[in-house]
Amino acid sequence: MRRVLIGIAGGSGSGKTLVARTIVRELGSDRVVVIDQDSYYKNLEDIPLRDREGRNFDHPDAFDTDLLRRHIRDLLDGLPIEQPIYDYAEHRRLAETRTVGEHDVIVLEGILLFADPELRDLMDIKLFVDADPDVRFIRRLRRDIVERGRSVDSVIRQYEESVRPMHLQFVEPMKRYADVIIPEGGHNKVAIDLVKTKIRDLLRERGAARATAPRVSVV
């Protein structure tokens, strides 16, 4: 059975993670795994820390998309991967990795997922999580200070210099690729229920296809 790939895109702070966690909670963590595009930021450990902080992390070129594609294809084929672990404070990959095994549903979430045509083609369902700009900024400010050790000034500067302009140039136009646009993110219960129903339908169809597939005997 080919696994189901759900792509969840949207601006920084839009609520993508809450949507992904809601799907995991409703379907069961033994069946669903979440892969963050952020884990696939390019490793900048060979660059001085001061220069790393000045990089544009909201442009498609900031990601190691080749590795992400390869890992997603492996997961869809039922193969394990070693997912990178990214250190946001120092803008580098850690030496250790996260082992991800076989799951029925892969939820891939990130701000720029739909920018890559090959990744889009692999997705069974493409979701775009939408939220007002002020809501997204407040959420990002709170997250980056609490979880990523950033200062208020650095968060505001990054938002003005790269987050907002890259959102307008790359993220917002990607709505046209979405199968479903979800306002209010994980708080939109109606949209989440519709997505869950579609995922279950896909799993049933593929499970039935596997069950009825002809067996080949080797004599």
Binding positions:
10-17
Annotated binding site for ATP: 10-17
What's the angle, vertex CA 44, arms to CA 71 and CA 74, rounded to 5? 5
Count Cα neighbours of 219 within 13 Å in the Cβ-side half-sphere.
0
Distances (CA, A) of 84 to 74, 104, 205, 219: 15, 21, 32, 44
Residues 6+ apart with CB under 8 A from 167: 11, 12, 58, 111
Report the residue count for the chain: 219
- Least Cα distance to 100 among 121, 120, 72, 127 occurs for 72
Instruction: Report DSSP state, residue 119.
Output: H
